[in-house]
Amino acid sequence: MENMVNVKINGIAVSVPKGSTILEAARAAGVEIPTLCYLKEINEIGACRICVVEATGARGLVAACVFPVAEGMEVRTNTPAIQKARKTTLELILSMHDKRCLSCVRSQDCELQKLCHDLGVEYTGRFEGYTPKYEIDESAPHLVRDNNKCILCRRCVAVCNQQYVSVIGANDRGIHTHIGTPFEKPLDEVPCISCGQCTVVCPTAALVEKDDTDKVWEALADPTKHVVVQAAPSIRVTLGECFGMPIGTNVEGKMAAALRRLGFDKVFDTNFSADMTIVEEATEFIERVKNNGVLPMITSCSPGWVKFAELYYPELLDNLSTCKSPQQMMGAIIKTYYAKKNNIDPKDIVSVSVMPCTAKKFEIGREHESAAGVPDVDIAITTRELARMIKMAGIDFVNLPDEDFDNPLSDDTGAAVIFGATGGVMEAALRTANDLLTGKDNDAIEFKEVRGTAGLKEAVYNIAGMEVKVAVASGAENANYVMSRIKDGTADWHFVEIMGCPGGCINGGGQPLQPASVRNFTDIKALRSKALYDQDASMAIRKSHKSPAVKAIYEEFFGEYGSHKAHEILHTKYTARPKYK
């Protein structure tokens, strides 16, 4: 075939598409070339030199991650010269690296550590010299930045650029080069949206989520506190990865069992409040359409996206739905409805959330998120933090029996389950809006045009005789495109879903870490999303407004959808934020 190229990798003949890199050709031949800086479609700069190989027609060693194959090329990936080069590179990196590995949060999950182990590199100190010392930046509520562990791979810089915000980059030159912010400001003084994508791609522990597990342990040990926990929709299809289970494994039952064994008084499911979000959001959308309200209405579930809007498009904040996110709705329900029903003082409740998102740590401290006069949610931890707690407690997660969440705040529908994937909130809202607008129970409930991991999707649906134009965007770069079109008046959408992280919550900044060797060749987002849609398809009730638990809480406590009481407890406000402090 004329679009294929024939090459040999360590003597193994393979045929690969024209334009393929040596790294991709080696993969096709069953050979894995080690990498460190390379992330496909994110950071393709050939800077770290770990992937160097020998190739006919090339002078010296070449970076396999960026060097294209040519017809008849022969490549060697593991000669003595290559091994020596890789080992020397690793020793040079280690010479300026904080090597306190035993106490590092990334120990046994560090790509640098694994490379040194696999290549047999033991630091000898032969390159010992000037080693700069950096202050650890803990200024942001969601992140700890430790340049003493940075290896200058620039993955974080690339993903921050991809996220449009570009608040970190390479500062200074030569041996003084380091990753920093503009004017070396603390991270909480620059327009970071708290998405945490940098923590997902960092190969070491230079960038990690701020660990709040000590706060949770302290609350669990306090007999005067009623400690409850909620787990977000996407966690059930990602948590298993932290325990060696295949990507996309649904561990909902084991997760509930593990949370109960950690000592929480009640284990709730954020899916319940996701259904609440939908009935409130769909009601708000219908009211805007009928009363000539501000359109397009934009979803408000993703705190990274909301912060992006407040920083970069404050003039369009009226377009955002006023609904709180499912995390905050659940927290508000726990400290109002649940507290009253169980005669518990909201001040004695410690509300913990397990989220896929580092921006949730920022969200719990926002204004207008205290329905009972105290914060709706007290502590937000990531999927990774929960996994560490489970391991610390000695819980045999993989062999746990499946258990249910606690009622009444756990009954859910398929609509809530798909919240974790980009397009899921839109589809869930359309299922409910379609019924509410037409006044009947419609059989067509799958809006597949808004599914998939693409960063931007558009569709038009006929609902109750009206053409409803929708858009779905994930990742701040796509959010910027959508908002710029709304701002300049070239968009004709009625309803828009935006998620701050590419792919939605299933790819959030707090999700399980996967090394570059997996990220470069596996569609992680698709596997995780599929697990959510599979669960949705298997459920008896797939529309949020059909949930018996949702109906009951409105009859007993809130009244009608969008009622005054619902607005007081379940809705919020937004604030324009300065880009630099």
> What mean pLDDT comes out for the span 279-293?
96
Query: Would you say 93 and 112 are in contact if contact means Cβ atoms under 8 Å apart?
Result: yes
Instruction: Check pLDDT > 60 for residue 229.
Output: yes
Instruction: Check pLDDT > 80 for residue 63.
Output: yes
Query: Would you say 332 and 270 are in contact if contact means Cβ atoms under 8 Å apart?
Result: no
Instruction: Check pLDDT > 60 for residue 58.
Output: yes
Do 219 and 163 fall within a single domain? no
- Other beta carbons less than 10 A from residue 574's beta carbon: 18
Q: Is residue 434 part of a domain?
A: yes
Q: Is residue 100 part of a domain?
A: no
Do 390 and 279 fall within a single domain? yes
Do 165 and 240 fall within a single domain? no
Half-sphere exposure of 580 (CA within 13 A, CB side): 6
**Angle, vertex CA 100, rays to CA 95 and CA 105, nearest 5:** 120
CATH at residue 529: 3.40.50.1780
Which pair of structure tokens corresponds to residue 287? 């009211």
- Other beta carbons less than 10 A from residue 121's beta carbon: 18
Q: Domain span at residue 521?
A: 214-570
Q: Is residue 580 part of a domain?
A: no
Query: Would you say 212 and 381 are in contact if contact means Cβ atoms under 8 Å apart?
Result: yes
Q: Which DSSP string do the residues of 396-451 spell out, in sequence order?
A: -GGGPPP-PPPSSTT---HHHHGGGSTTHHHHHHHHHHHHHHHTS--S----GGG-
**Angle, vertex CA 422, rays to CA 257 and CA 523, nearest 5:** 80
581: pLDDT confidence band, cut at 50, 70 and 90? confident
Q: Does the CA dihedral 360-366-371-377 come out positive or negative?
A: positive
Query: Would you say 305 and 499 are in contact if contact means Cβ atoms under 8 Å apart?
Result: yes
Least confident of 84-88, 221-225, 246-250, 406-410: 406-410
Half-sphere exposure of 538 (CA within 13 A, CB side): 8
Spatial distance between the Cα atoms of 50 and 78, rounded to a whole number of angstroms: 12
Which pair of structure tokens corresponds to residue 95? 């010479």
Instruction: Check pLDDT > 70 for residue 1.
Output: no
Instruction: Check pLDDT > 60 for residue 221.
Output: yes
Which pair of structure tokens corresponds to residue 329? 């709705």
209: pLDDT confidence band, cut at 50, 70 and 90? very high
Do 396 and 528 fall within a single domain? yes
Find the DSSP H helices in 472-573.
476-488, 516-519, 524-538, 548-553, 564-570
Burial 542-567 (b: 16+ CB within 10 A, else e): bbbbbbebbeebbeebbeebbbeebe
The β-bridge relationship of strands 466-474 and 495-499 is parallel
- Other beta carbons less than 10 A from residue 412's beta carbon: 25
CATH at residue 67: 3.10.20.740
Spatial distance between the Cα atoms of 50 and 93, rounded to a whole number of angstroms: 11
Spatial distance between the Cα atoms of 328 and 330, rounded to a whole number of angstroms: 5
Find the DSSP H helices in 240-302.
252-262, 270-290
Q: Is residue 98 part of a domain?
A: no
Give the pLDDT score at 225.
Answer: 98
| 430 class by beta-carbon count within 10 Å (0-12 exposed, 13-18 middle, 19+ buried) | buried
> What mean pLDDT comes out for the span 75-91?
97
Give the pLDDT score at 408.
Answer: 85
The structural domain count of the chain equals 3
- The dihedrals phi and psi of 328, each to the nearest 5 degrees, come to -75, -35
Do 319 and 296 fall within a single domain? yes
Residue 359's H or E segment, with its range, is: helix 359-363
Spatial distance between the Cα atoms of 118 and 99, rounded to a whole number of angstroms: 17
Give the pLDDT score at 310.
Answer: 98
Residue type for 180, please? Answer: G
Do 181 and 262 fall within a single domain? no
Query: Would you say 378 and 361 are in contact if contact means Cβ atoms under 8 Å apart?
Result: no
Give the pLDDT score at 432.
Answer: 96
Give the list of residues 6+ apart from residue 487 with CB closer than 8 angstroms, or none.
313, 315, 316
Instruction: Check pLDDT > 90 for residue 52.
Output: yes
Which pair of structure tokens corresponds to residue 354? 């397990």
Query: Would you say 554 and 560 are in contact if contact means Cβ atoms under 8 Å apart?
Result: yes
Give the pLDDT score at 125.
Answer: 87
Closest CA to 113 of 145, 90, 146, 86: 90
198 backbone φψ class: left, alpha, beta (φ>0; ψ -120 to 50): alpha
Half-sphere exposure of 12 (CA within 13 A, CB side): 13
Give the pLDDT score at 110.
Answer: 97
Give the pLDDT score at 122.
Answer: 87
Q: Is residue 85 part of a domain?
A: no
Do 220 and 202 fall within a single domain? no
Listed in order, strand segments (DSSP E) in 193-335 are: 207-209, 226-231, 266-269, 297-298
State pLDDT tens for residues 303-355. Answer: 999 999 999 999 999 999 999 999 999 999 999 999 999 999 999 999 999 99
Kindly report the average pLDDT of the chain as a whole number: 97
State if pTM tops 0.95: yes
Q: What is the distance of C-alpha 434 from the center of its chain?
A: 29
Give the pLDDT score at 25.
Answer: 98
24: pLDDT confidence band, cut at 50, 70 and 90? very high
> What mean pLDDT comes out for the span 509-529?
97
546: pLDDT confidence band, cut at 50, 70 and 90? very high
State pLDDT tens for residues 422-473. Answer: 999 999 999 999 999 999 999 989 999 999 999 999 999 999 899 999 999 9
Do 201 and 222 fall within a single domain? no
Spatial distance between the Cα atoms of 112 and 202, rounded to a whole number of angstroms: 10
Give the list of residues 6+ apart from residue 93 with CB closer than 8 angstroms, or none.
48, 112, 151
Give the pLDDT score at 123.
Answer: 86
Do 148 and 284 fall within a single domain? no
27: pLDDT confidence band, cut at 50, 70 and 90? very high
Do 493 and 477 fall within a single domain? yes
Q: Is residue 576 part of a domain?
A: no
> What mean pLDDT comes out for the span 228-257?
98
Instruction: Check pLDDT > 80 for residue 532.
Output: yes
Q: Is residue 90 part of a domain?
A: no
Do 151 and 57 fall within a single domain? no
130: pLDDT confidence band, cut at 50, 70 and 90? confident
Which pair of structure tokens corresponds to residue 460? 């038009």
Which pair of structure tokens corresponds to residue 64? 């396999």
183 backbone φψ class: left, alpha, beta (φ>0; ψ -120 to 50): left
Q: What is the distance of C-alpha 574 from the center of its chain?
A: 22
Q: Is residue 231 part of a domain?
A: yes
> What mean pLDDT comes out for the span 204-230?
98
Do 198 and 229 fall within a single domain? no
Which pair of structure tokens corresponds to residue 266? 């009640």
Closest CA to 241 of 233, 251, 231: 251
CATH at residue 200: 3.30.70.20
The β-bridge relationship of strands 456-463 and 143-145 is unpaired
